[in-house]
Amino acid sequence: MRVELSLVCVALMCVFKQTNSCLIISEVNCDNPKLDTQEFVELYYEGTNPTSLDGYTLVFYNGKVDSAYRVIDLSGHHTDQQGFFIVGSSELTPRPAISLPSNSVQNGPDAIALYGPNWVPVGEGGLVSGVGLLDAVVYTSRRSVDGADGLASVLTPGSVPYVEDEAALEGDESIQRCWQSENLWTFYTGPPTPAWVNHCPVGMATGSYSLVLYDVTTDLISTSVEFIAKEPGIFAVPVNTASLSEKNSAAFALYKGPASDFPKDGPLSHEQPIDAFVYGDSAHMPSDNLTETLIPGRKAFILTDSFLTAGLHASRCGVAEWTRDPGLLVARPRSPGKPNDCIWFQSCPLNMTSFTKSGRIQPPIHSDVDFLLNEINTDSPGGAEDEEFIELWHPSGFRMSLDFIWLVMINGHTGMVYYELELNGYYTDDDGYFLIGSSKVGPDIRIPSNTIQNGPDAIVLYRSKSPPSKEGPNTPRNGLLDAVVYRTRGSDKTVSELTEALTPGQLPLLEDINALPADETLSRCETERLNLNAFRVTSPTPRKQNNCPPKPTIPSPPEGLVINEWGKTSGVNQSQESLFVELTGPPSTPLNGLVLVFFGEDATELNVPIAGSTGSDGLYLVANDSRADQGLPALGHLGAVLLCFEPSGSGFCGSDSRHLDWLVFSDDPKLQRLLQHNMTRFVYTLFSGDSLSRCASDGPVLWIASQPTPRLPNRCPSPAFSSSADLCLQPENNNWQSGSGNCTQEEFAGLLEQLCNCGISSLHVKGVKVSCEAGRLYSQGSVLAVSDQQRERITEILNHNKLSCSAEQGRQVHGAGSSVALVVAALLLFALGAALFVYLYKKRRPADYLSMQLSEQAETPLEL
């Protein structure tokens, strides 16, 4: 027998499965260079052609509003003789069956969906629907900020939108559907092929390999052949199959390394093969051990009697990036030393669930949540170890794609990967669960019994496009999603290298076989990833909600408790400065469950649990000082402090903890991103003094830089220390205009702080009236201070500063103001005098009503 290898995959004889007829969206070109005059959507029908498209509808969706912007009824049309149907620009060649104006197909984030006869019609402007859905392409571009999440959650649940990279090719490109394996399809970017077979790539690899043939009756090595691939290409490797006990059943595996590592009659290697192919006839199927070791989660090919007379061989035609999948191969005519004679269409795509109005709506997949290790059973009762399993879970609780997810098992003694499993092509169930384990637990992927070691070891979850083990000899870190480091009684308690790399600062979990009468598992009871405290020892619940103990009633956090002051203070001997934090709240308030978290500017964290209660004055001091209520470890340069409430008493502020108050005094972008991710509000101030003190005002809370006052009232701006601010200033930027955003108390405070550098905030100038005109700022009122020293500094700046208007400008301004005031006063006096004169005149000469009546009569002509 001769085996041909391409991309380190194995080609053997097998029987091709018959495909079902179906209509799919096979290619989309939504963005052309320059003018969009070559756009098109290509449909393809696998079956008897031409075929009628009556009852089918093509809908174009806008991803920004999740509604239809174009609806095309395909009734009355047919596919061509090859099964293609084109909707596209009128200038496209070949001419489309339905022509569209140029620039009709949007570039993304958008979607194109194909609906069948049972579709509930949606008009243009209607919201996206999954009812009657047959196929869909959800896509975006690298230029787009949005990700079409809403469309993907309805049309392609569990899969990410495809990114059409307009820079992938030198000319035009299109989104092309390519067969992966079984009924799984994917999309690639390639040169447009309207009404023609798509360009679906197959990769290549180089290196030194050994091809090993296993006997399915004994699971032992029948023979091995070593070869070297010096450059990408196709290699014909002769294999002697004479020693096989069953001619129609065997297993091939491709390994790195010399053939001497795989001697004849040697046992089944538990080294992870690069690729593998397992096949058999109906009477002689490979053992579960052989199948689960070489092609975990995949099915062996079943050969029928007809393949011996059909003259066909198995050729790799699937373009899936994963290996060890017999579903990638199909029966095709033999083509030794040449590219495989593949046909483009192998099967209908994986059936998609149609949603109704009563169905659950899946959340957007572009969110912060990702897969978690949910439940682990590493040591089941009995020597068979046939109930081991690892359960993955997606916190969305919906069906999700496992593309680019890797499950890795690491030996705690050697630090080496002993099992690595690629999950490309798989999906969770409708509740987000995915099970890997022994056949007895009914898993999605079967692994041989007693595969999961009992500890000290680690089980790790990665998101990566390549095997994590290729990262190097050390424990892989790139793409790390979640990890569980565990041990058994009597094993190492630290596993220092694994915990330092995966779960630093935490002790390995203990799966105590004596904890429960029957079997037990390590079950996740909280959602924080990489936190071993989230796990509990419970009874097994594969594919179900974990059997976690009920959570205790969470007490309410102390009311009115906040950070009052943060700064530096001298010790008792005045020889060394240390940091302190002062809390304030109602007197005698218990502080149980409170944690102070200190953040370094490199985003490191130190959690300090708080004990005791506030004093009779409502204050509580945390400092490295004998006078403090609680000690504080020596701290380096810090960037923030957080007051957190954790009712469990763990002393660790986690994702489910409540944040009561925080203060950030660093402009480190890494620290700001970290805190903004976890908090709903964000306070930032420059640390320009020895203390930052909380001061209340009519508006929001402000922090004031001042001298430290631990256990004393904070030094806040006070009228007792005030300076007159009757000023005319002319800043250099000349942006000070009436009605502009610059003409505010806050901006005036910032301007004074630039001159003074003495801790002035908007609270210092809350009583100052500010106005602007012609690039100049005028202020009138008093600037407050926290001490005599600060007042003296402010007074000095107010009286002598480089931004003061010139004397002539000042006189002009004040002279103009005086003239206006005099004119207004004169007008008021004149109006008052006139009113008084009229009043006195009328009083001295009362009205003569008789004369008035006679006059009126005199004015009327007499009628004779």
> Is the pLDDT score of 12 beyond 60?
no
Where is average pLDDT lowest: 32-46, 53-67, 798-812?
Answer: 798-812
Give tens-digit pLDDT for 563-592: 999 887 765 554 556 788 999 999 999 998
Local structure of 830: helix, strand or coil: helix
- pLDDT: which is higher, 415 or 803: 415
% of the chain beyond a pLDDT of 70: 77
pLDDT for position 57: 94
pLDDT for position 447: 87
- Domain 562-706 carries which CATH code? 2.60.40
What is the distance between the alpha carbons of residues 284 and 289, in angstroms, rounded to a whole number?
14
> Is the pLDDT score of 795 beyond 70?
yes
Binning pLDDT at 50, 70 and 90, where does residue 319 land? low
What is the distance between the alpha carbons of residues 642 and 627, in angstroms, rounded to a whole number?
22
% of the chain beyond a pLDDT of 90: 21
Residue 20 and residue 348 in contact, taking contact as beta carbons nearer than 8 Å: yes
Compute the average pLDDT of residues 118-138: 85
pLDDT for position 321: 60
Gyration radius of the chain's alpha carbons? 39
> Is the pLDDT score of 371 beyond 80?
yes
- pLDDT: which is higher, 6 or 75: 75
> Is the pLDDT score of 506 beyond 80?
yes
Q: Measured between alpha carbons, how far apart are the two ends of the chain, in Å?
A: 146
71 residue type, one letter = V
Give tens-digit pLDDT for 18-40: 345 688 899 999 888 777 888 99
> Is the pLDDT score of 450 beyond 80?
yes
Task: Out of 226-235, 303-312, 633-642, 687-696, give the one with best mean pLDDT.
Answer: 633-642
Architecture of the domain defined by 32-165: Sandwich (2.60)
Residue 728 and residue 809 in contact, taking contact as beta carbons nearer than 8 Å: yes
Binning pLDDT at 50, 70 and 90, where does residue 354 land? very low
Domains 32-165 and 562-706 belong to one CATH topology: yes
pLDDT for position 617: 92
pLDDT for position 707: 81
Binning pLDDT at 50, 70 and 90, where does residue 85 land? very high
Where is average pLDDT lowest: 94-108, 376-390, 837-851?
Answer: 837-851
Binning pLDDT at 50, 70 and 90, where does residue 811 land? very low
pLDDT for position 860: 41
- pLDDT: which is higher, 9 or 705: 705
What are the sequence ranges of the domains in the chain?
Answer: 2-15+203-333, 32-165, 372-538, 562-706, 718-805, 810-841
Give tens-digit pLDDT for 256-307: 888 889 999 999 987 878 888 888 887 788 888 888 888 877 778 877 665 6
Q: Which of 208, 204, 171 is nearest to 190 (CA)?
A: 171
C-alpha distances in angstroms, 206 versus 6, 295, 448, 657, 832? 10, 22, 30, 51, 105
Its pTM stands at: 0.51
> Is the pLDDT score of 121 beyond 90?
no
pLDDT for position 778: 85
> Is the pLDDT score of 629 beyond 80?
yes
What is the distance between the alpha carbons of residues 248 and 789, in angstroms, rounded to a whole number?
97
> Is the pLDDT score of 620 beyond 60?
yes
Local structure of 113: helix, strand or coil: strand
Q: Which of 651, 647, 648, 604 is nearest to 630 (CA)?
A: 651
pLDDT for position 388: 92
Binning pLDDT at 50, 70 and 90, where does residue 742 land? low
Compute the average pLDDT of residues 237-247: 83
Binning pLDDT at 50, 70 and 90, where does residue 3 land? low
Q: Which residues contact 807 (CB under 8 A, 6 or more apart)?
A: none
Compute the average pLDDT of residues 676-693: 50
> Is the pLDDT score of 856 beyond 50?
no
Give tens-digit pLDDT for 527-545: 888 999 899 999 999 999 9
Mean pLDDT of the chain: 78
Q: Is the peptide bond before 558 cis (omega within 30 degrees of 0)?
A: no
